[in-house]
Structure 1
Amino acid sequence: MSLSQFWAYFSLIFLGLSFHIRRRTFVSAESLAYLRTESIFLDCGSSAKQSLSLGRNWSSDIGSQFIASNSDSDSIITTASKGMTVPYITARLFYTKFSYTFNVTPGPKFIRLHFYSDSYQGLNASQSFLTITAGRYTLLRNFSCYLTAKYLKTDHFFKEFIVYVENHTLELIFSPTSNPPNAYGFVNGIEVVSMPLQLYIRGDDVSLPFVGFHNNMLAIDNKFALEMVYRENVGGQTISPDQDTGMFRTWNDDASYIFGAAFGQLDYDTTVSIQYPKTVPAYTAPEDVYRTARSMGQYNEINLNYNLSWFFPVDTGFLYLVRLHFCEIVPDMTLGNQRVFFIFINNQTAETQADVIVWSKGHGVAVYRDYIVMVPSQAARKQDLWLELHPNIQVKPEYYDAILNGLEIFKISNYDGNLAGFNPPLDESNIQQASSPALSKKSKKGLQNRIKYSISGGLLFILCLFVLIFIKTRRKWKMKNTKDSSPCNNFHADDITKATNNFDESLVIYNLDMGKVYKGEINGTEVAILRGIKEISEQDFKEGIKMLSQTHHHNIVSLLGYCQEDSEKILVYEYMDNGTLSDHLHDHSKHLSWNQRLEICVGAARGLHYLHTGKNRPIVHGDISTSSILLDENWTAKILSFGFTMASHNSDGYSIHIGSQTDVYSFGLVLLEVFSGRAPTLNLKTENDENSGSNGDDDHESLIPPASDCLEKGDVDQLLDQSLKGKISLESVGNFVKITKQCLAKKEMKRPSMSEVLYSLELLQMSQDNESNESSPKGLYPESCSDLMIGVEFSDMLMSSGR
């Protein structure tokens, strides 16, 4: 062998070893795409034996092994009038129960059900109602394809579920609803695809943060099923099923869910080699998810004044798994503390110092974070789940910015295995894009190859938005030129006098300790005007206004402005159509149901919890009662806050702690009043431990004696509102009373925080829909649903797997 041949041979070996080392260090989605054990695609009603669509080989279900031998005669096959792509061209239609049975390996499976809304066989599309089960899980109940398609503004869509198959049999049962009499059901396509064992259902050993409940972790095990409600490629284009990592997932673009015009900046790098660490397998998400992102932009001053926000309509009454995908792809982002930000989910803090480089430990390295979020039952069938990012300047990062590459949101099944929500009403059919993703019909310009740059699209829109808001505000409200630095509207006394018809007594809607509240109107907007605040110092009044103007929450009455002229101190609030909670509890012509009362208590607890855990600083209310809890036109509970009262309680940490415990005690009195329908006849004040002459054995001696006796003896029937007797389960009564007793504990150290109170009330509200279950499964919920009170023993009652 010549010397040149030797060096050539040595070079090949060296290059091969180098390539081998690199492949072991940096893995790619192409090399480690998930290898499926099952991939079943049924084109229901199709006469074609096989059809290829977006990487999936669809087979006809006619004569299929997955249909029982005698079931074909119970259904008919039909064709969609305008269906253009498989599996939306044909359908299987049935009037009675129909089932498919799949022989699969044990483990988690994707189940995707495809629907095309049409008048099959001339039938009325609005009369198709269907219940679908998979083993013990109810995937859909009384489901209307017609209403869903109208709501989503698309003629076709799919629903994706994740179910753990314990044995070798997966049975899908389709049952047309019996009412109306002409009801029928149909399905256009079915997918059953295997998936990695712990991709989403990560088991008892993996604890996930429960957003809004500090230091509490929950786990999802195989007893729970999931429904995918959103899967977004943030800042990028739609990724079709054939471009996924072997599981045929669809990743939509996120533009339809950005709040307002502040859509930030699109970042992408089509050449970066995405690295997948051991904790994030390469099949977790496609490389294109991590190669694109949405950030806030390069202007620090602008970024400080807005949140990068998304909103996602979801069904109420469920827990949700929210997965956020991150990867730093901007070339200069290579060190920790360059970009640090807050993550807020549903107005609660999920992360205070999100730093992608710290999490991933490198540039171009994929990472994700999972969170559990509760969306309790409400009168509204859907509620927006908010996701917001904001720079954290407290840690002095190099850039005031935030970033997100992708997100997934999953509904988690309830105690009884239910995933089914309500059908959307037609009058809410205003969403722009499917909440269950339909394949986009839009053609989008692809990313340019081998270029690295960012598109700054939000700056102009943000500036224009600020200008428009400023102009509109000046036109709508007559503002007074003043040197006052308050960010709130400062109204002229003439505006207030005109709005109240010179304080006409017939316009008085509430008589509060702080003064009278008048109903008024300013430039066509109904407002509530609080007058009579004279004993408050000017400094406290200004501090209170400043505090209220920075307090924004769904369950707190918004302050619109104030007036301070001629010794008058007046506050202007949003108008609440249904008055105070006190009115409805004590007016015998008005009866609140138990579910309404629970929902009101949960809403008020959310508002008070927000004040106590505010991101700027904790706030003590100081005057919680049924008179300071108002109800809007949708019966949403909102706390009426008096800023000067709050300001007087927030001078130091000790005062905040004492004041927050007083708020909890006052909230306990609210719960007692809600339960009994009777107001306390004494102005009850809690006693400090140092001033108490008691030996401490009686935690409820400060209550009205009859109420105290009833609570101690468990004779709650004497306390219960007469209008509720016989209408509430004993379990619900017992749990509510436990929460009330803990709040009213005489010793402050024995009272729960508002976080714990809110957690207990929300679990109690959720259990109302699941009272048929004797106990909850382990892993996600507390061990027993027979005692949902999480008070002093809050941390001890959580599952050990979630600690």
Structure 2
Amino acid sequence: MDLGFLFLHQSWSLMQLRSLLCVSFAFSLLVTTFVVVAVDNNTNYVPSGDILLNCGASGQASSFDGRSWTGDTGTRYAPSLDAGGFDALRLDPSVSTVPYSTARVFTSPFTYRFPLSAGRTFIRLHFYPSDYSNHAASDAFFSVTSGPYTLLQNFSAYLTADALNFAYLIREYSVNVSTGDLNLTFTPSTTHPNSYAFVNGIEIVSIPDLFGSATPLLVDGDDDHIVSTIDPDQALETVYRLNVGGQAIPPIGDSGLFRSWDDDSPYIYGAAFGVSYSNDSNVTITYPTSVPSYIAPPDVYSTARSMGPNAQVNLNYNLTWILPVDAGFYYLVRLHFCEIQYPMVKINQRVFDIYLNNQTATEEADVIGWSGGIGIPVYKDYVVMTMGRGQMDLWVALHPDTRSKPEYYDAILNGLEVFKVQNSNNSLAGLNPGARPQLYVEPRDRRKGSAKHKSEVPVIVGGVIGGFAVLLTGFCLIGMCKCQKKKKMMMEEGKGAVASNGPYDLSPLSLDGNTRSAASAESNLCRYFSIAEIKAATNDFDESLLLGVGGSGKVYRGEIDGGITEVAIKRANPMSEQGVHQFQTEIEMLSKLRHNHLVSLIGFCEENCEMILVYDYMAQGTLRDHLCQTQKPPLPWKQRLEICIGAARGLHHLHTGAKHTIIHRDVKATNILLDDKRVAKVSDFGLAKIVPTAVESHVSTAVKGTFGYFDPEYFRTMQLTEKSDVYSFGVVLFEVLCARPALNPMLSDEKVSLSEWALHCQENGMLDMIVDPYLKDKIAPQSFKKFVETAVKCLAETGRERPSMVDVLRNLALALQLQERVEESDSIDGGISDEIVLFVGPENKDSDDRLIQSSTTTSIGGQSPASLESDRPTPSAAFPNVHDANTAIIVDI
């Protein structure tokens, strides 16, 4: 997946700015929103060449930030221009008219020529995937080259933007101009019918050599890192540019190079965000001669993120960022540092280790030692090699150094940049997300030339990114069936979905400033399957391939792509009103959501009255399959914790990762699936609900779910909140601990309900009597205590008393860390100790000490604080890093 767009600015969308700005004071307001910083030796760089080309337009026009763009019609940069300039048929309200309302469309190769002085140059390409005249957005596949460099190859802005829920894309490249001319050639693909190339805007900015003086360390797993250099002729692509601990910085806030700096928080791993802060009022950012002011603006160095004030907590986790990248390339990772608060003025006050992809990059990093004083910026460069093909995660982690015995066990980071380095073929191009070019089939009513596709589409604010056309067509097909009464009900429901704004106002999951509103999202994120393909994949729905049966249909194991890819195929019952509704909900949810701990939707089929969804195949089945009434080997305690943490991450993303809270409403062990590596993924969104607005805390709705997991408060009041999911997850936690189902009617009355029986046993001090016998003497006492306290809190009678999923996640991660510590020391003692680690939840959120131990607790994981200090930490030292690099973004994150 080509991930160059991920560096885009997040917090400065036009929708936000329009509500704050008018033309007369736009510039001043944008500037004054930044932290006021005293700066010495700071002079903005003035580019010798700065070209803003508004493609498809003529004359001069200003973008919302006041920058002036020139239309490419009749310019010297395209003297032989004969390609068409077209208006976007529909402009997303979050998108600036300049340069995105017009595009230059090429049906044959075309080259722009920019006369420039020799030296480094930024190329920024702006893409707004839309229909232009009779050119469908989904038909645009093309390549872009600049001299010997391939910037994009077989690129689909439509697929890329749809996969990430972005309204527009910006790609930034840095190339060296040696001939006096910079050429940009756009070439339509020859392998896709009706393909064309397009571009909305081109920025050309001459820059100083940001990389020539860099001597990055090659981080390859060896202790002796190789010092390398970036060749002046090498091209780079900006993948991430993050203002760590601070707000997003738009181009006009940069130091003359018009770069965008994003908020780093969407990329932080797990629940451990650390502490963000700005410079003390009496600290001046002073650039030394070794750090030119154009390297990063003062606003980057005047904010930071550290681990926090609690040394004991800091020793037990890594402050980590996870950054999805294209595999098969080298990456230049640039870390920006500056101590900006007192009392950090001396060497050996704050010393830490830096890890990249779980390899040690730098030991005993000391910012004051590097820079020479407070308020003085410094940056360090590293090169990381990635292997393979497709997408992978690049990890950046910090951990306090213990060998140097610093005054504070803490770490700090101010800025983070990641640049992709061209490969041996002079290429920076990655893959389109989810591209299967040899088998890709568009839904019939969205193919080029469809009258429906050309017609005006109703604007549905917060509508569904994928599956909308599927639903309309599906309901029509159902209407052709003989059940006339159900046909009428379904058709009315389908019409209602079109006319309303719907409950599914799923805002961008991250990167707010470059997301599309769901109104313009079109259904091409999912792959379309014909019924013939589905039957071939399942051997005509062979019952021997049946994986399970649910209320909305059957699930089969299948094979697609000539047997290469295993999938799970859910066949809905079209004559079931409930099944159709749940089918609709799953399409709307899963086509919008992307997260590594949520089951992924591959595609769909809507043919011959069939409504079928195709998911990733989860080779290890359900969590329940591994707990009770099974011939599978029992799961070790550590693996059970990792599975719970994965599921908690998925639920936390549902509750907080979208504009409106998503409540799953059917959390249970059979809806937590495990892939071949036993990574947990939450599934089955047929009962999910949205809390429509940010000010509402609940949804009043009929009680639905599964007996044994019902939130008693929801059952009484019919008011659904995210704490209902927390309650159900608490039941799952006890299932994991006790290896028995939530309900067992074969037991005596007091034992039928696991939640009631577990609480009874806990209150009477006999919980250890119902723990899975396999786990006897295998659970560290502290880990057991933390896990049980978390589960009990989840089962509180009222939602107000229950923790949020992020608190649950923190505590489960701590339970895992406590278990790992003891396993590493090989000193697990059976039984339950008297040590109690207080729950990290709502009642102690006001404390800076996020993990508080009672006075009777003298150790963590069987080690005293002194022994912790003497141990050399590893890249995966503690929570939230649980040896699972599969966290999203996205989109996630």
TM-score, structure 2 normalization: 0.47
Structure 1: distance between partners of 2:212 and 2:514 = 24
1:202 aligns with 2:462: no
SS of the equivalent of 2:68 reads strand
2:241 corresponding residue in structure 1: 231
1:113 aligns with 2:373: no
1:261 aligns with 2:521: no
Structure 1: distance between partners of 2:166 and 2:40 = 32
1:217 aligns with 2:232: no
2:432 corresponding residue in structure 1: 423
Q: Select the residue among 295, 319, 330 that pairs with 2:341.
A: 330
> Structure 2 counterpart of 1:253, which letter?
D
Q: 1:31 to 1:328 in 2, by over 3 A?
A: closer
Preserved contact between residue 245 and residue 285 of structure 1 (Cα < 8 Å): yes
Structure 2 residue ranges without an equivalent (≥5) = 1-36, 437-464, 467-505, 518-655, 657-722, 741-767, 777-818, 832-870, 876-883, 887-893
Structure 1: distance between partners of 2:185 and 2:117 = 19
Counterpart mapping for 1:582-661 below 5 A? none
SS of the equivalent of 1:289 reads helix
SS of the equivalent of 1:120 reads coil
1:87 corresponding residue in structure 2: 99
Q: 1:209 to 1:467 in 2, by over 3 A?
A: farther
Q: 1:127 to 1:394 in 2, by over 3 A?
A: same
Q: Select the residue among 232, 246, 250 that pairs with 1:240.
A: 250
Q: 1:33 to 1:210 in 2, by over 3 A?
A: same
SS of the equivalent of 1:394 reads coil
1:764 corresponding residue in structure 2: none
Preserved contact between residue 216 and residue 382 of structure 2 (Cα < 8 Å): no
Structure 2: distance between partners of 1:96 and 1:490 = 74
Preserved contact between residue 212 and residue 230 of structure 2 (Cα < 8 Å): yes
1:414 aligns with 2:423: yes
1:384 aligns with 2:393: yes
Deviation at residue 356 of structure 1 after TM alignment: 0.7
TM-score, structure 1 normalization: 0.52
Q: Select the residue among 161, 166, 170 that pairs with 1:154.
A: 166
1:478 corresponding residue in structure 2: 738
2:204 corresponding residue in structure 1: 192
Listed one character per residue, the Cα deviations across residues 319-351 of structure 1 (whole Å, up to 9, x for unaligned) are 000000000011211111111111111111111
1:404 corresponding residue in structure 2: 413
Preserved contact between residue 79 and residue 89 of structure 1 (Cα < 8 Å): yes
Structure 1: distance between partners of 2:260 and 2:302 = 16
Deviation at residue 468 of structure 1 after TM alignment: 12
Listed one character per residue, the Cα deviations across residues 740-794 of structure 1 (whole Å, up to 9, x for unaligned) are xxxxxxxxxxxxxxxxxxxxxxxxxxxxxxxxxxxxxxxxxxxxxxxxxxxxxxx
SS of the equivalent of 2:376 reads coil
Q: 1:491 to 1:322 in 2, by over 3 A?
A: farther
1:298 corresponding residue in structure 2: 309
Preserved contact between residue 320 and residue 374 of structure 1 (Cα < 8 Å): yes
SS of the equivalent of 1:362 reads coil
Q: Select the residue among 170, 180, 183 that pairs with 1:171.
A: 183
Structure 1: distance between partners of 2:223 and 2:153 = 34
SS of the equivalent of 1:232 reads strand
SS of the equivalent of 1:151 reads helix
Q: 1:400 to 1:492 in 2, by over 3 A?
A: same
Deviation at residue 262 of structure 1 after TM alignment: 1.0
Structure 2: distance between partners of 1:469 and 1:371 = 41
Structure 1: distance between partners of 2:51 and 2:322 = 34
Preserved contact between residue 118 and residue 178 of structure 2 (Cα < 8 Å): yes
1:124 aligns with 2:384: no
1:788 corresponding residue in structure 2: none
SS of the equivalent of 1:192 reads strand
SS of the equivalent of 1:242 reads helix
Structure 1 residue ranges without an equivalent (≥5) = 1-25, 442-460, 481-488, 498-544, 552-558, 566-613, 619-631, 635-803
Listed one character per residue, the Cα deviations across residues 480-524 of structure 1 (whole Å, up to 9, x for unaligned) are 9xxxxxxxx999885489xxxxxxxxxxxxxxxxxxxxxxxxxxx
Structure 1: distance between partners of 2:728 and 2:353 = 28
Deviation at residue 314 of structure 1 after TM alignment: 0.3
Structure 2: distance between partners of 1:241 and 1:156 = 16
Q: 1:297 to 1:413 in 2, by over 3 A?
A: same
SS of the equivalent of 2:370 reads helix
1:761 corresponding residue in structure 2: none
> Structure 2 counterpart of 1:417, which letter?
N
Deviation at residue 425 of structure 1 after TM alignment: 1.4
2:147 corresponding residue in structure 1: 135
C-alpha root-mean-square deviation of aligned residues, in Å?
4.1
Listed one character per residue, the Cα deviations across residues 276-331 of structure 1 (whole Å, up to 9, x for unaligned) are 11110111111010110111111112112211111011000000000000000112
> Structure 1 counterpart of 2:416, which letter?
L
Q: 1:29 to 1:192 in 2, by over 3 A?
A: farther
1:311 aligns with 2:325: no
SS of the equivalent of 1:223 reads coil
Preserved contact between residue 353 and residue 360 of structure 2 (Cα < 8 Å): yes
Preserved contact between residue 109 and residue 163 of structure 1 (Cα < 8 Å): yes
Q: 1:472 to 1:299 in 2, by over 3 A?
A: farther
2:156 corresponding residue in structure 1: 144
Deviation at residue 417 of structure 1 after TM alignment: 0.7
Structure 2: distance between partners of 1:159 and 1:375 = 21
SS of the equivalent of 2:403 reads helix
Preserved contact between residue 109 and residue 165 of structure 1 (Cα < 8 Å): yes
1:252 corresponding residue in structure 2: 262
Preserved contact between residue 166 and residue 515 of structure 2 (Cα < 8 Å): no
SS of the equivalent of 2:288 reads coil
Structure 2: distance between partners of 1:191 and 1:175 = 19
Q: Select the residue among 372, 376, 389 that pairs with 2:383.
A: 372
Structure 1: distance between partners of 2:316 and 2:85 = 59
1:35 aligns with 2:295: no
> Structure 1 counterpart of 2:385, which letter?
M
- Structure number with bigger Rg: 1
Preserved contact between residue 737 and residue 772 of structure 2 (Cα < 8 Å): no
Structure 2: distance between partners of 1:29 and 1:122 = 55
Structure 1: distance between partners of 2:339 and 2:775 = 53
Preserved contact between residue 293 and residue 403 of structure 1 (Cα < 8 Å): yes
Structure 1: distance between partners of 2:71 and 2:145 = 22
Structure 1: distance between partners of 2:294 and 2:516 = 23
Preserved contact between residue 342 and residue 391 of structure 1 (Cα < 8 Å): yes
Preserved contact between residue 234 and residue 421 of structure 2 (Cα < 8 Å): yes
Equivalent residues, number: 458
Preserved contact between residue 157 and residue 434 of structure 1 (Cα < 8 Å): no
Structure 2: distance between partners of 1:371 and 1:108 = 20
Structure 2: distance between partners of 1:385 and 1:408 = 12
Deviation at residue 30 of structure 1 after TM alignment: 7.6
Q: 1:301 to 1:474 in 2, by over 3 A?
A: farther
Listed one character per residue, the Cα deviations across residues 587-624 of structure 1 (whole Å, up to 9, x for unaligned) are xxxxxxxxxxxxxxxxxxxxxxxxxxx96589xxxxxx
SS of the equivalent of 2:260 reads coil
